[in-house]
Amino acid sequence: GQQLNQSPQSMFIQEGEDVSMNCTSSSIFNTWLWYKQDPGEGPVLLIALYKAGELTSNGRLTAQFGITRKDSFLNISASIPSDVGIYFCAGLRQGSGNTGKLIFGQGTTLQVKP
Amino acid sequence: ETGVTQTPRHLVMGMTNKKSLKCEQHLGHNAMYWYKQSAKKPLELMFVYNFKEQTENNSVPSRFSPECPNSSHLFLHLHTLQPEDSALYLCASSQEWGAYYEQYFGPGTRLTVT
Segment 30-89 of chain A within 8 Å of chain B by CB: 30-31, 33, 35, 40-45, 48, 50
Phi, psi of B50 (to 5 degrees): -120, 120
Instruction: Please say if the pLDDT value at position A98 is more than 90.
Output: no
pLDDT one-digit tens code per residue, A1-41: 567 899 999 999 999 999 999 999 999 999 999 999 998 89
pLDDT one-digit tens code per residue, A32-77: 999 999 988 999 999 999 999 999 999 999 999 999 999 999 999 9
Q: What share of chain A is helix, strand, coil (3-state, %, to 5)?
A: 5, 55, 40
The B-side interface with A (CB below 8 A) comprises: 2, 4, 6, 42-43, 45, 48, 50, 55-56, 88, 90, 92, 94, 97-108, 110
Which residue does chain B place closest to A102, by CA atoms? Answer: B99
Phi, psi of A89 (to 5 degrees): -90, 155
Question: Cis bond leading into B42, ω under 30°?
Answer: no
Distance in angstroms (rounded) separating the CA atoms of residues B6 and B50: 19
Distance in angstroms (rounded) separating the CA atoms of residues A45 and B42: 17
Distance in angstroms (rounded) separating the CA atoms of residues A56 and A63: 5
pLDDT one-digit tens code per residue, B28-84: 999 999 999 998 788 899 999 998 888 888 889 999 999 999 999 999 999 999 999
Q: CB within 8 A of A96, min separation 6: which ones?
A: none
